[in-house]
Amino acid sequence: MRVEPSEAHVAAHHHDAPTEEATAVEHVFDLRGVGVHYGDFTALQDVSMGLPRNQITALIGPSGCGKSTLLRCLNRMNDLVGSARVTGEVIYNGENIYDADIDPVEVRRRIGMVFQKPNPFPKSIYDNVAFGPRLNGQRKGLDDTVEQALRGAALWDEVKDKLGDSGLALSGGQQQRLCIARAIATEPDVILMDEPCSALDPIATLKIEDLMRELRESYTIVVVTHNMQQAARVSDRTAFFTVNIDDHVGMRTGALVEYDDTEKIFTQASDERTEAYITGRFG
Ligand SMILES: Nc1ncnc2c1ncn2[C@@H]1O[C@H](COP(=O)(O)OP(=O)(O)OP(=O)(O)O)[C@@H](O)[C@H]1O
Ligand SMILES: [Mg+2]
């Protein structure tokens, strides 16, 4: 990438006094008229939104409205789906990540992902976390990198004496924190999480939510969740999506209904569809 996020970050905050410019919200991502198509099928249409840096943005909405599709579009994971095509612009730190000269591997290094089902590699805890840094060519200081990532994911104390054990031998909640450690080990800019707690019990869920709030200090987080309490508890901004059904051709297309401060969405949504969904009155 031509623009180093760290430099952009420094530049944006290089003001001594809080001027209007300095207090303006800085967007890591600006989506402009984004659509995602699988072959002839349009899964998501005309999404425009800015994702603020160092905040947690929640994507909510009924099954099939395109939340995972949109998330994958933010780090070019859709490239790995043969039929997928993205239209519009996904501006990340000032550049469209779908421009021809952008390296998708570099995009995925900057924008990490944590999936619904914890998916540690069948390797040791240590090797799981060291995987990304090694791939990036890091040879020195790996012990330190692994420790920092595990500390960052609030897992260090639980695993520091068994780093050689298999990652698969951990509990579900620990495995998910291991996956978060693996994601932050490469020092990404953004972490995308697709229903990261749906396989976890309430205690492990709260642990991940606490962790997300800590991670927000250093990263921008975009999280898909079906858990309304979770969206309300953890996120700063919430985007509600719905599925529009075209009766003539039976096409089901996802669309952004409303995007605002989480508090506003949950207390005085502008659109009645949003309110119906968050209060559980949605069919
Ligand atoms: N690889 C694919 N090929 C074809 N269609 C797909 C593919 N992935 C998703 N879709 C379709 O795109 C639409 C959006 O799917 P997506 O998985 O993004 O929804 P979602 O909001 O994440 O749903 P859920 O809440 O159930 O996870 C759906 O109609 C789905 O069938
Ligand atoms: Mg999904």
Handedness of CA 121, 127, 128, 130 (dihedral sign): negative
Cα 101 → chain centroid: 24
Among the bound ligands, name the one nearest to the CA of residue 44.
1
Own/partner long-range contacts of 143-146 (Cβ < 8 Å, ≥24 apart): 145/185, 146/185
What are the b/e assignments for 142-181, b being 16+ CB within 10 Å? beebbbbbbebbbbbebbeeebeeebbebeebbbbbbbbb
Give me the tens of pLDDT residue by residue for the chain, a chain 283 residues long.
444 444 444 444 444 444 445 557 799 999 999 999 999 999 999 999 999 999 999 999 999 999 999 999 999 998 888 899 999 999 999 999 999 999 998 899 899 999 989 999 999 999 999 999 999 899 999 999 999 999 999 899 999 999 999 999 999 999 999 999 999 999 999 999 999 998 888 888 998 999 999 999 999 999 999 999 999 999 999 999 999 998 887 789 999 999 999 999 999 999 999 999 999 876 4
**Minimum-distance ligand to the CA of 81?**
1
From atom 5 of ligand 1, which residue's Cα is the shortest distance away? 38
**66 CA to centre of ligand 1 in angstroms:** 6
Q: What is the distance in A from the centroid of ligand 2 to the CA of 164?
A: 33
> Nearest bound ligand to CA 36?
1
Ligand 1 contacts CB of residue 231 (under 6 A): no
Q: Whose CA is nearest to atom 31 of ligand 1?
A: 64
Gap between the Cα atoms of 46 and 75, Å rounded: 18
Minimum-distance ligand 1 atom for the alpha carbon of 116: 27
Q: Give the model's pLDDT for residue 23.
A: 59
Q: How far apart are CA 84 and CA 226, in angstroms?
A: 24
- Torsions phi, psi for 238 (to 5 deg): -130, 135
pTM value is 0.88
In single-letter form, the type of residue at position 223 comes to: V
Q: Whose CA is nearest to atom 27 of ligand 1?
A: 63
d(CA 34, ligand 2 centre) in Å: 17
CA 38 to ligand 1 centroid distance, Å? 9
User: Rounded to the nearest whole angstrom, what is the distance from the C-alpha of residue 23 to the centroid of ligand 2?
Assistant: 34
